[in-house]
Amino acid sequence: MRFFNFIFPLFCFILLIPSIAKAQDLLTVQNVFFKSSQDNTAVVFVQIQGEPKFSYFRLDDGRIVLDIENSKIVKKGVIIPTSNSNIISEIHFAQNTPDMVRVVVGSDVKASYNISKVDGGILISVGSSKPLLSLANGITNEAPKLLPYNYIPEKGQLANSQNSQTNNNLYPPIKNAKIIVIDPGHGGSDPGCVANGVEEKVATLGVALHLKPILEKMGFKVIMTRETDKDVWGKPYNMPGYDANESELQARVNIANENGAALFVSIHFNA
């Protein structure tokens, strides 16, 4: 399949990105603080050592999701506010991927909010579209000061994501996540092409398993046609001219079509 001679160099490029990210030091998310006011506003202050890059989005049910890039958390946790505050239900914070901390703030979908970079971390204000600096005052030793923040995440990075790694409770399924189907070529009884004892089916699965978490981190939902060394059987048709190989390839494509995939990536090496 000549098509994949073009696709493969793209994978090499994508696979390089995480190794660059890991070379940098991770920021430390030290703690998460909560404070509410009688006027139905609240703040969540995420205390961070270092200069954070972050992105955020809101789920249909009102939860506010903050992703802090290139960061590690000292201690994951949950804050459940006392009953006199009903604007925020729960606050969860945890390491979501090896180099990203996620904070999820449960809030009424109708409540406005603001996320700002402040001195010493990130301030999430709920019940206001402006940063509630005075409410945040005293949450830690010093009053948070507003800092300029112009970082625009790369396209696809505003993660409408579902992730199979740690803390599934922080990754609720999102209806609108774009689906990519990865198809590791061959498998099971079909080794694909064999050279120097290396079977194509092993190499394609290896690349696919590396690619999956990378795409998930970019915000895609990933479905694999196989995750182990097995055949992807087509339907056993009993008709004249039935071709087992053709049927198997069709079975793989069907997985993409049935899941409404935006992209179908079939991985092969020279066969």
User: Which residues form the interface with Zn ion (CB under 5 A)?
Assistant: 185, 192, 268, 271
Closest residue by beta carbon to Zn ion: 268
Nearer to Zn ion, 137 or 228 (CB): 228
Least separation in angstroms between CB 201 and Zn ion: 8
Closer by beta carbon to Zn ion, 67 or else 200: 200
Structure tokens at 189: 């009884």
Contacts of 130 (CB under 8 A, 6+ apart): 114
Torsional class of 32: left (φ above 0), alpha (ψ -120 to 50), beta (otherwise): beta
| Alpha carbon distances (Å) from 25 to 29, 70, 120, 136, 219 | 13, 8, 18, 28, 23
Q: How far is the CB of 268 from Zn ion (least distance, A)?
A: 3
Helix (H, G, I), strand (E, B) or coil at 128: coil
Query: Residue 257 Cβ, how far from Zn ion at the closest point, in Å?
Result: 20
Closest CB 140 distance from Zn ion, rounded Å: 57
Q: What is the nearest approach in angstroms of Zn ion to the Cβ of residue 229? A: 14
Residue of 173, 190, 270 lying closest to 225 (CA atoms): 190
- What's the CA gap between 159 and 9, in Å, rounded? 25
